[in-house]
C-alpha cells in the first residue's frame, strides 16, 4: 500500500490530538476517496458531452437520441462507481 504524508497547521494537529479514539488515517482516506468520486463524476459529465458530440457527428442519431444514449451511459458508469465506493466503505 502506498504511503501519503500530509502537513497540517499546528493548531489543527492539536485539535486532532484531542480526539485520539478517531482513526484519522481512515478519515483522510475517506476524504480523498470522496474528492476523487466528485472529480470522476465531473469527468464523467465531460466524457458524456464528448461522446454525444462524437456520436451525433458520425451517426444518423438525432442530437436528442445521442443525448439520451450518453445520459444512460453516464448513469451506468456512476452506478458502477458508486457500488465500488460502497464496497470500499467510502459511501
Cell 483522510 -> residue: 28
Task: For residue range 27-36, list pLDDT tens digits in order.
Answer: 999 899 888 8
Query: Does the predicted TM-score (pTM) go above 0.75?
Result: no
* Cell (9 digits) for 53: 458530440
- Helix (H) / strand (E) element for 56: namely helix 24-58
Question: Please, are residues 2 and 24 in contact by the beta-carbon 8 Å criterion?
Answer: no
Residues 38-73 pLDDT 10s: 788 777 777 777 767 776 676 676 777 777 777 777
Amino acid at each position: 500500500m502506498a504511503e501519503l504524508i500530509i502537513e497540517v497547521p499546528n493548531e489543527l494537529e492539536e485539535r486532532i490530538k484531542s480526539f485520539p479514539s478517531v482513526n484519522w488515517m481512515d478519515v483522510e482516506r475517506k476524504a480523498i476517496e470522496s474528492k476523487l468520486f466528485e472529480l470522476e463524476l465531473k469527468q464523467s459529465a465531460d466524457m458524456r458531452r464528448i461522446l454525444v458530440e462524437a456520436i451525433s457527428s458520425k451517426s444518423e442519431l438525432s442530437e436528442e437520441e445521442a443525448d439520451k444514449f450518453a445520459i444512460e451511459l453516464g448513469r451506468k458508469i456512476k452506478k458502477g462507481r458508486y457500488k465500488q465506493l460502497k464496497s470500499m466503505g467510502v459511501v
